[in-house]
């Protein structure tokens, strides 16, 4: 499964729900798949994608989608525990798991060597979890996650491929239009 | 009003209802007040940079937020502040128990405690230090006003002279 195709799938079903994207290719590919006011792109702060989504989920009743990555989550596994502690029913975490730090030279990540992020989520009391390896399974579980209470934690195994051009992200503008879409 | 009540009232005046924190004994009195008050949602983070992320997420959906931490935890959260709050222009009040001042008993707390304000200055972040309750209501209220006007984090450093510190 390619991350870009999976991102397009997520956008097809997300409607107007807020999405937070992890730094690097995840943010770039979300922008290429479809720029919208409800995309909260990050381009730094590695590890904080799902922490930001947690803060959103605690502050809106809408379903909030986090598009995180294995390398980034490994930097901040504590946020999985905090999600388990807070139990926001409206949070859907999707982890693009390529089992490597792709941008820094394709070094293998811990998920290639035995770490199972779904089991981490389960052990942190996250009630709805899945690991998927293809677009069909991702679509089924993601559509469930949009309808059923969570929190949800979906590990999507992806293959790394060529990168799309860097998206023209302006963090100040991202926050401004995202907030405006919530009436702030 | 006591320093704890001044902070709680200041947060309410600025409609700041989500507070993310990592526990600290010296400022436990104020975070406990926040936890007991239904106006607030207090989020316990496992690490200070995570608290920054949670607070920014709340603000992004239109809810004002603040964080509480110790100066050692400020050290843990520098990149989150530098690469998220500042580029996105996030008005985030950061309440810091400033270690390493008069009365410090722990050698390990001195370097980061002493470095906290110079780092804030280097990042260009406005910061205030509270040693006592004199004018504290005006300082806290004014800091929060400035924070939102400037749409950047503001640090409010609370020393042992204010809160009495941790008993050795």
- pLDDT tens digit string along B61-112? 999 999 999 999 999 999 999 999 999 999 999 999 999 999 999 999 999 9
pLDDT at B165: 82
- pLDDT tens digit string along B19-48? 999 999 999 999 999 999 999 999 999 999
* Residue A152 CB partners (closer than 8 Å, separation 6+): A91, A92, A93, A126, A128, A129, A130, A145
* Per-residue pLDDT at B7 exceeds 70: yes
Q: What is the mean pLDDT of residues A34-59?
A: 97
Tell me how close the Cα of B135 comes to any Cα of chain A, in angstroms.
Answer: 31
Q: Is B49 on the interface with A (CB under 8 A)?
A: yes
pLDDT at B168: 46
* Per-residue pLDDT at B145 exceeds 60: yes
CA B60 to chain centre: 19
pLDDT at A82: 98
A130 with A154: CB under 8 angstroms?
Answer: yes
pLDDT at A103: 87
- pLDDT tens digit string along B53-62? 999 999 999 9
pLDDT at A180: 98
Residue with tokens 């941790």: B166
* Per-residue pLDDT at B10 exceeds 70: yes
Cα separation of A38 and A18, whole Å? 5
- pLDDT tens digit string along A132-167? 999 999 999 999 999 999 999 999 999 999 999 999
Q: What is the mean pLDDT of residues A3-9?
A: 98
* Per-residue pLDDT at B166 exceeds 90: no
Mutate to test the interface with B, among A48, A60, A90 (most CBs of B within 10 A): A48
Size of interface A-B (CB pairs under 8 A): 123
Q: What is the mean pLDDT of residues B103-124?
A: 97
Instruction: Report which of residues A4 and A162 the model is more confident about.
Output: A4
Percent of chain A with pLDDT over 90: 97
Cα separation of B125 and B155, whole Å? 7
Mutate to test the interface with B, among A17, A41, A50, A52 (most CBs of B within 10 A): A52
Whole-number average pLDDT of chain B: 96
**What are phi and psi for residue A40, nearest 5 degrees?**
-105, 95
Is there a contact between A175 and B88 if contact means CB atoms under 8 Å apart?
yes
Q: Which two tokens stand for residue B103?
A: 């009365």
Is there a contact between A174 and B88 if contact means CB atoms under 8 Å apart?
yes
Q: Band of the pLDDT at B167, cuts 50, 70, 90?
A: low
Is there a contact between A55 and B55 if contact means CB atoms under 8 Å apart?
yes
Tell me how close the Cα of A46 comes to any Cα of chain B, in angstroms.
Answer: 8
Mutate to test the interface with B, among A22, A27, A59 (most CBs of B within 10 A): A59
């Amino acid at each position: 499964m390619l991350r870009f195709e999976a991102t397009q799938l997520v956008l097809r079903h997300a409607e107007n729900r807020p999405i937070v994207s992890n730094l690097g290719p995840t943010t770039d590919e979300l922008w290429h798949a479809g720029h919208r006011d409800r995309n909260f792109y990050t381009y730094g702060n590695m590890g904080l994608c799902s922490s930001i989504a947690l803060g959103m989920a605690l502050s809106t009743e809408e379903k909030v989608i986090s598009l995180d990555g294995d390398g980034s989550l490994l930097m901040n596994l504590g946020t999985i525990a905090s999600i388990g502690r807070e139990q926001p029913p409206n949070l859907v975490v999707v982890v693009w798991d390529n089992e490597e730090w792709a941008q820094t030279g394709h070094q293998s990540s811990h998920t290639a060597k035995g770490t199972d992020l779904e089991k981490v989520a389960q052990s942190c009391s996250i009630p709805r979890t899945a690991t998927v390896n293809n677009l069909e399974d991702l679509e089924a579980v993601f559509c469930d996650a949009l309808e059923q209470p969570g929190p949800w934690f979906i590990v999507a195994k992806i293959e790394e491929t060529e990168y799309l051009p860097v998206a023209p992200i302006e963090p100040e503008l991202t926050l401004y239009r995202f907030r405006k879409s919530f009436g702030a | 009003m006591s320093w704890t009540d001044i902070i709680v009232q200041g947060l309410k005046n600025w409609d700041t209802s989500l507070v993310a924190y990592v526990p600290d004994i010296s400022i436990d009195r104020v975070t406990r007040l926040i936890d007991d008050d239904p106006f607030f949602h207090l989020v316990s983070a496992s690490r200070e940079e995570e608290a920054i992320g949670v607070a920014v997420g709340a603000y992004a959906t239109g809810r004002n937020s603040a964080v509480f931490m110790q100066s050692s935890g400020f050290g843990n959260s520098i990149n989150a502040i530098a690469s998220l709050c500042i580029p996105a222009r996030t008005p985030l009040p950061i309440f810091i128990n400033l270690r390493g001042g008069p009365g410090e008993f722990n050698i390990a707390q001195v370097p980061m405690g002493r470095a906290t304000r110079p780092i804030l200055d280097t990042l260009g972040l406005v910061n205030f230090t509270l040693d006592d309750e004199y004018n504290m209501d005006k300082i806290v209220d004014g800091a929060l006003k400035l924070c939102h006007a400037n749409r950047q984090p503001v640090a409010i450093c609370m020393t042992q002279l204010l809160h009495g510190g941790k008993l050795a």
